[in-house]
Amino acid sequence: MADNIAHLNELIMSMAKKRGLDKTFCPSEIARQLSSKEDEWRSLMEPVRLAATKLIDKGQLVCKQNGEIVDIRTVKGPIRLQITSN
């Protein structure tokens, strides 16, 4: 389990670093990287969001919706993740 979390964290932060401070990405991009089947990625969204939540809590990412920072725990609908300058 800890290996899976560490792997998720690595994938999320790698994507965030590639996009840089000015761009965001959808958590589904990470889930799709992990899935081997067409629709499997949907079942991976919860673990990806949980990993992202922990990275947000550490100040490494922010969660955005419509360009505004939002709380990943309470927001409904599509979100984007972005690396912070910390």
Question: What SS3 string covers the chain?
Answer: CHHHHHHHHHHHHHHHHHHCCCCCECHHHHHHHHCCCCCHHHHHHHHHHHHHHHHHHCCCEEEEECCEECCCCCCCCCCEEEECCC
Taking the C-alpha atoms of residue 24 and residue 27, their distance in angstroms, rounded to an integer, is 10
62: domain CATH number? 1.10.10.10
Q: What is the pLDDT of residue 65?
A: 98
* Number of structural domains in the chain: 1
pLDDT tens digits for range 18-68: 999 999 999 999 999 999 888 899 999 999 999 999 999 999 999 999 999
Structural domain for 78, as ranges: 2-83
pTM of the model: 0.91
